[in-house]
Structure 1
Amino acid sequence: MQKVIFLLREPVDDFRKYYEPKVVSLGPIHHGNPKYQLGENYKLPLTYEFIEGSGKNVEDVYNMIKEKIYELRTCFKEEVTKKYDDEALTSIMIVDSCAILQYIYCATNNNKFKELNIKTDSVAFGQQNLFLLENQLPYCLLTWLMSSSVKKEEISKSIETYIDLHVKAPADQQSNWLSWRLCQRSKPQEAQSAKEESHDEKKPEDCTISKATEPVHLLDHLRTRMLHGPMYIHDGKIKFTKQFLFRGQLHLPPIVVDVSTRPKFLNLIAYEMCLDFENDFGVTSYISFLDSLINEAKDVKMLTKAQILHNFLGSDEVAKLFNEIGTDLVPNIEIYRDVRSQIQKHYKRKWLTLIAQVFHDHFSSPWTFIAFFGALLALALTITQTWYAVNSPPGPCDNFCKNLTLK
């Protein structure tokens, strides 16, 4: 566990606030800051509730964690924990980890915060604080505490449920596509290419601790679920296909965009950029890809109409969000390489793109197409009838009438 690297902190002062807790500090990095005192007041009843429900007493829990404090200390950068002795660090680990587990359990079990007199706004801010890079705790610590509880299975399930809630779009909209018109406003493929070499993604173990291995924490679980779980943002899920009548379709997983989106993605990007974390920059590449599709508000509206973006913010704000987050990212050029190439090829065939745009703008509804076809057929019949009326060859009746006129 470590602080956000200076490359992300220094250039954009406005981003700094998204890396720091709003209400509650977790772990040793921000511990003791007076502005998080309210959060400390909330952590204590959560900790008490967890220990009481676990069937253990405080002394047993303290001794269990104290025995493992050296292993836990090695999960953090030395600069982070050097000011705490073993007793102080043990207390921080116990209170914060028990509070996290009880918070998640309450959030996924009929919202039991009212029983602890925790207000709704504090719950909302606490939710954002759980996924900050500088607020992480070793997942093995949570595992040890869960294993000692009589509610082990319930608590473990609540973590899975809680993380799924932060990566899943509505269940009936897990596979969406967008009729391709965005390519006309997309940034050139060359501008999206990065100079970064591909890395093999490491698969961490939940309870393996060593100086050479990055411990798993909630932020890592969130990242893993986004890349390989219900949302699945790797390029196996994101693809471009050719359709009938010269149309192209871009297939994208749906994503919810709300006030938590910016800090969540910024901290996931910061996690991938940690100097000792070897990975494939999956989330960074995904954000870069979305940024290539979203230039302005009308792009957001189109994605929202296609039910790819579930937008709880204004369209202008969402466009600004992705444009700002996507600035100066270095994605993995191997991810989405095929999708970008197919989009570029489709865009280069200008006449197909124009036809696709006409169909998208004017015939997006099947009823519109049927009405147009009906009108076209009626026009054709009218033209045919008029032509026959003017140019029809003389018949027997015409000759008879002509003879009567001559007489």
Structure 2
Amino acid sequence: MENSHSRSSGITEEPQAHSISIETSQNDILEARLREAEENAKNQSQTPKIQKVIFYLREQDDFHKNYEPKVVSLGPIHHGKPNYHLGEKYKLRLTNAFIKGSGKSMQDLYKKIKEKINELRTCFEEEVTEDYDDEALTSILLVGGCAILQYLYCATKNRFKELNIKTDSVAFGQQDLFLLENQLPYCLLTLLMSSSVKEKELRNSIETYIDWHVNVPEDQQSNWLSWRHCPRSKPQQAKKPVHLLDNLRTRMLHGPKYIPDGTVSKINQNIQNVQEYWQSYRNVQELKTAGIHLKRGKNCYLSEIKFTKQFLFRGQLHLPPIVVDDSTRPKFLNLIAYERCLDFENDFGVTSYISFLDSLIDEANDVKMLRKAQILHNFLGSDEEVAKLFNEIGNDLVPNIEIYRDVRSQIQKHYRSKWMTWIAQVFHDHFSSPWTFIAFFGVLLALALTITQTWYAVNSPQDPAITSAKT
């Protein structure tokens, strides 16, 4: 009986011991993971790393169209894919031209990058470069960096024909430069430029090329070669770009009153309140009906949106001019994707601008009015296409409510003033055409003359001769 009881007891105790062992093991694993997460948080770099587009954007149907290169892959993320075979040939042509013009040999440039490879590797997310050893990564960065710099140099000097690079490839390559997954560290470009005898020209070509994507035509009849120059002003806090896309973002947003980075904590207070507050905007046609008219801004910075009062019942919304073309969608989507990177602490300036513009544009007539005000320059196609573009880009965005707060408040204050809105409505309905105003003025003048004539007929002193004759 005892042996039987012992055996049965042994059978029941073994699973308990096994269960405790599993629990202990899982606890140890979890504790180790938590310690690792804490350590990673402490050691996280203040500079955002080059990485893939965040996971929930990758689920979109048109992801490949908007976020992946069309002609050329730059860097390790899309390296070696067969659909960039032609782009690889162009990269090698550009790299060869850069090396010949640099005054250095390929071995010299390779060595410089190889010496910095550990530092350069840390500019990328670990998963992006883990499949490449130092030799392979050095080669990728050398070819990609030289190709970018030579492309920008040729673009600003109009020298692509010398390399037998087709015009359509040049155009698509332009879009590929500003894709989040196609970026290379700016410190790599700086290293290569400083190694070249053309350093000054190369640096100027970057600034000129970025200017092309920030500046806009002077008027609607202008073409791509006629630009209104937005003056460069130094940033409030001098900060080296992370990559070309980061450089573009800074230049597009930067202005004298631009809110500096570090306001992220104010954004995530209450998503519902943010969305309700943002919905207080009206589209362009509603603004005009309420007496708020559009005015082209004095500079091109996206953060420079303001509201001013004109007379008692009229307001003006000042908006920076913008060019809309085939590159607008991928450019803004990748800028927004960059702002959404988890390691990039920023104020969501581009996201907030697109949300603002999306609220102003509901349909083609809104686009038409923006065009008439010389704020929006449509190189895309019909006004319907532009309206659809911004409505689609503006989907599912959570803007920073601190940006444009004063503008929103002033628009709301204008709307709350019933008598100003009523007067503006009367003028909009009855005097929107100069002919109706002239006709109204003519009626008032005729009425005034009639009243004056009647008054004189009744009150004018009678002739003395007539008075004596009557008597």
Which TM-score bucket, shorter chain as reference?
0.7 to 0.9
Which among 250, 267, 270 is matched to residue 337 of structure 2? 270
Give the Å deviation of 1:382.
3.4
The answer to whether the Cα contact below 8 Å between 1:294 and 1:323 also exists between their aligned partners in 2 is yes
Asked if residue 48 in structure 1 is aligned to residue 96 in structure 2, the reply is yes
Other-structure match for 1:182: none
Between 1:321-330 and 1:264-273, the stretch displaced more is 321-330
Asked if residue 339 in structure 1 is aligned to residue 407 in structure 2, the reply is yes
Paired residues in the alignment total: 366
- Name the TM-score, length of structure 1 as normaliser: 0.83
Other-structure match for 2:206: 159
For 2:346 and 2:453, the matched residues in 1 are separated by: 71
Give the Å deviation of 1:377.
5.3
Other-structure match for 1:26: 74
Which among 278, 285, 294 is matched to residue 352 of structure 2? 285
Written as runs of structure 1 = structure 2, the 5 A alignment for 1:169-188 is 169-170=216-217
SS in structure 1 of the partner of residue 352 of structure 2: helix
Asked if residue 9 in structure 1 is aligned to residue 58 in structure 2, the reply is yes
Give the Å deviation of 1:9.
2.1
SS in structure 2 of the partner of residue 25 of structure 1: coil
The answer to whether the Cα contact below 8 Å between 1:288 and 1:326 also exists between their aligned partners in 2 is yes
For 1:304 and 1:311, the matched residues in 2 are separated by: 7
For 1:281 and 1:108, the matched residues in 2 are separated by: 30
Q: 1:311-355: CA deviations, max 9, x gaps?
A: 113211111111111111011111111111110111122332243
SS in structure 1 of the partner of residue 323 of structure 2: strand
The answer to whether the Cα contact below 8 Å between 1:257 and 1:309 also exists between their aligned partners in 2 is yes
Distance change >3 Å, CA 299–CA 15, structure 1 → 2: farther
Other-structure match for 1:306: 373
Written as runs of structure 1 = structure 2, the 5 A alignment for 1:127-166 is 127-166=174-213
Q: Counterpart of 1:232 in structure 2: which amino acid? A: Y
For 2:57 and 2:194, the matched residues in 1 are separated by: 37
Other-structure match for 1:226: 252
Distance change >3 Å, CA 59–CA 122, structure 1 → 2: same
Which among 101, 104, 126 is matched to residue 152 of structure 2? 104
Task: Report % sequence identity.
Answer: 72
Asked if residue 322 in structure 1 is aligned to residue 371 in structure 2, the reply is no
The answer to whether the Cα contact below 8 Å between 1:204 and 1:216 also exists between their aligned partners in 2 is no
For 2:440 and 2:388, the matched residues in 1 are separated by: 40
Q: Counterpart of 1:156 in structure 2: which amino acid? A: R
Q: Counterpart of 2:309 in structure 1: which amino acid? A: K
The answer to whether the Cα contact below 8 Å between 1:202 and 1:278 also exists between their aligned partners in 2 is no
Give the Å deviation of 1:386.
4.8
For 1:101 and 1:44, the matched residues in 2 are separated by: 12
Give the Å deviation of 1:15.
4.2
SS in structure 2 of the partner of residue 327 of structure 1: coil
The answer to whether the Cα contact below 8 Å between 1:246 and 1:356 also exists between their aligned partners in 2 is yes
Which among 72, 93, 118 is matched to residue 70 of structure 1? 118
Other-structure match for 1:184: none
Distance change >3 Å, CA 383–CA 266, structure 1 → 2: same
SS in structure 1 of the partner of residue 344 of structure 2: coil
Other-structure match for 1:39: 87
Between 1:237-246 and 1:118-127, the stretch displaced more is 237-246
Q: Counterpart of 2:125 in structure 1: which amino acid? A: K
SS in structure 2 of the partner of residue 3 of structure 1: coil
For 2:403 and 2:392, the matched residues in 1 are separated by: 21
For 2:370 and 2:214, the matched residues in 1 are separated by: 18
Asked if residue 242 in structure 1 is aligned to residue 309 in structure 2, the reply is yes
Give the Å deviation of 1:363.
5.6
Q: 1:68-119: CA deviations, max 9, x gaps?
A: 111111111111111111111111101111000000001111x111111111
Distance change >3 Å, CA 350–CA 323, structure 1 → 2: farther
Which among 116, 130, 140 is matched to residue 82 of structure 1? 130
Q: Counterpart of 1:148 in structure 2: which amino acid? A: S
For 1:90 and 1:386, the matched residues in 2 are separated by: 95
Distance change >3 Å, CA 392–CA 161, structure 1 → 2: same
Give the Å deviation of 1:47.
0.5
Give the Å deviation of 1:246.
1.1
Which of 1 and 2 has greater Rg?
A: 2
The answer to whether the Cα contact below 8 Å between 2:113 and 2:142 also exists between their aligned partners in 1 is yes
The structure whose RCO (Cα within 8 Å, separation 6+) is larger is 1
The answer to whether the Cα contact below 8 Å between 2:431 and 2:437 also exists between their aligned partners in 1 is no
The answer to whether the Cα contact below 8 Å between 2:179 and 2:330 also exists between their aligned partners in 1 is yes
Written as runs of structure 1 = structure 2, the 5 A alignment for 1:108-123 is 108-109=156-157, 111-123=158-170
Which among 342, 355, 361 is matched to residue 423 of structure 2? 355
The answer to whether the Cα contact below 8 Å between 1:202 and 1:279 also exists between their aligned partners in 2 is no
For 1:41 and 1:358, the matched residues in 2 are separated by: 64
Q: 1:4-52: CA deviations, max 9, x gaps?
A: 0012222x31244201111111110001110111111111111000110
- Name the TM-score, length of structure 2 as normaliser: 0.72
Give unmatched runs, 5+ long, in structure 2.
1-49, 220-227, 256-298
SS in structure 2 of the partner of residue 290 of structure 1: helix
Kindly report the root-mean-square deviation, in angstroms, between the aligned alpha carbons of the 2 structures.
2.7
Q: Counterpart of 1:163 in structure 2: which amino acid? A: I
